[in-house]
Amino acid sequence: MTRAKAELSGLALNGKSRFRGGRLAAVLLGALALAWPAFYNGFPLLYADSMTYLDDGRIVARALFLHRFSDYYGVRSFFYSLGILPWHWNITPWPIVALQCLLVAYVVWLVARSVSPPRPVACYLLLVLLLSLLTSAGWYADFIMPDILGPVLYLSIYLLAFARETLSRAERPALYLIAFWGITAHATHLLLAGGLCVLLVLFAAFERRPLAACFRAAGEVASIVAVAAAAQMALHGYLYGKPSLNGQRPPYLMARVTADGPGRWYLEQHCPQLHWAVCNHLNTLTADSDDFLWASGGLYDSSSSAERLRIDREEMPLVLAAVRAYPREQFLKSSANFRDQLLAFGLYGFDSSPWILEQFDKVLPRARSSYMESRQARDALPLDQLTDIQWWTIVASLAAIVVLIPLLWRRHSRRLAGLSLIIVAVVVANAFVAGVLSGVDDRYGCRVIWLIPLLAGMLLLDWLSQRETARRAGATSGSSAASA
């Protein structure tokens, strides 16, 4: 008996080891499938802000570890810059692509596994391959930007809140770290994660379960958000001597409200009485918020350091005054921006940029020649065709969701209800935050829109799983009746 038990134990361990090996191989293959856009391009995909993220990491690291402080650290997320620094060291960005593809592949594996599909590895690989070929998932995983960490964060919240029992003891801490980095990687991620905490509380209030179990998930996610916010405040306090969530961010809201019209109209009427610094540049205001913030010779670019400090202090008084003076006009403009952003998810953010090329000698001097040979640098990426493919994929996915949702409703699947709630809320809230508070841009929609096909795929996997279960039950009952 002892020998038999030992043999059975050894077989179980070997089977478990083979399963873990298969799971690891599946995630690696999934990451490789997501990396094809970078291989096709011949270089990781870049944006103007990518060079800033790549450069700021070493400046912040010097202040943190060598106490060599600087007057300026940039306006982007320091946590994303620090997180990718060990993966590039200003030599090559390829390891960042590997990291981001692995994170996406790993989290999507956990999500796919949570519905217990038949032949989970095969279903997962097919799902990742379709997402990579037909949506922006692979393109944004290969993008040297924190955008992809938003969807990874929201899926991690789903897993912690609705599929916790499917996670191992090692997987839960891994998701805590992934969610923490996702929250700190971009200001909009913090806003959306905070909103999801409120949504989880509301969802829990309507569940017919013990209160402690209902609110535990919301409390766990809220704790991660709180720790991430505290870490941001601590880092900014260390660097600037004053705690804040956003550091030295430009006046995005002022740029938005003046570009929309009400802010500009208010200044034109009241500048003679206000004596604000922004009034010195009234003639430079346009209907484009990017001109306000980033254009050479624009309002913010042409302002002195002292003027910028004054403009920053004037931001909220101007925003509140403009909204009070023109509430209807601002509401209509914000509503139009929200609508336009909800429908803007074309793959148009990968054009060449002279500014990117100028920064290579400073940021990635050894990689300049490789970038010059890429399709992006030569504007040879088929962005129109890719956008069309993604558009029809979204249309087909929405149709599939409409067909499959009634099946989900009849089955009362808490996990899929939670996943649907989070994905729909994120897509809508992302369009609101980006369109209303920043500006309409395809990049903002593209970073989350691939979650819609993912949801359709998950509903389909669950449907297949239920069919397989019913088939097996029917086969078992048939064999029992035959035996009788």
pLDDT of amino acid 475 = 64
pLDDT confidence tier of residue 307, bands split at 50, 70 and 90:
confident
Crossing angle between the packed helical segments 187-205 and 414-437, to the nearest 10 degrees: 140
pLDDT top residue among 301 and 375 = 375
Phi, psi dihedrals of residue 45, rounded to the nearest 5°: -80, 135
Q: Both tokens of residue 483?
A: 């035996």
Among 229-238, 268-277, 471-480, name the most confident range: 229-238
Is residue 35 over pLDDT 70?
yes
The predicted-structure confidence for 386-439, as pLDDT tens digits, reads as follows 999 999 999 999 999 999 888 766 666 788 889 999 999 999 999 999 999 988
- Residues 301-315: what's their mean pLDDT? 86
Which residue is associated with the tokens 């938003």? 150
pLDDT confidence tier of residue 298, bands split at 50, 70 and 90:
confident
Count each helix (H run) and each strand (E run) in the chain, helices first: 22, 0
Phi, psi dihedrals of residue 272, rounded to the nearest 5°: -60, -30
CA distance 443 to 431: 11
Domain segments of the chain: what residues?
18-249+343-465, 262-325
Q: Both tokens of residue 393?
A: 């994929």
pTM: 0.91
Is residue 143 over pLDDT 70?
yes
CA distance 338 to 240: 34
pLDDT top residue among 471 and 165 = 165
Percent of the chain residues past pLDDT 70, beyond the cut = 90
What is the CB-side half-sphere exposure of residue 137 using CA atoms within 13 A? 30
- Give the three-state DSSP class for 411: helix
Least confident of 103-117, 218-232, 282-296, 432-446: 282-296
Is residue 220 over pLDDT 80?
yes
Amino acid type, 42: G
Mean pLDDT of the chain: 88
Phi, psi dihedrals of residue 143, rounded to the nearest 5°: -90, 125
The predicted-structure confidence for 67-76, as pLDDT tens digits, reads as follows 998 888 888 8
The CA-based angle 220-221-223, given to 5 degrees, is: 65
Question: Do residues 36 and 132 lie in contact, with contact meaning Cβ atoms separated by under 8 Å?
Answer: yes
Least confident of 78-87, 138-147, 466-475: 466-475
Which residue is associated with the tokens 């690696």? 28
CA distance 38 to 4: 52
Question: Do residues 456 and 404 lie in contact, with contact meaning Cβ atoms separated by under 8 Å?
Answer: yes
> Can you say whether the dihedral through the CA atoms of 82, 175, 430, 184 is positive or negative?
negative
Is residue 477 over pLDDT 50?
yes
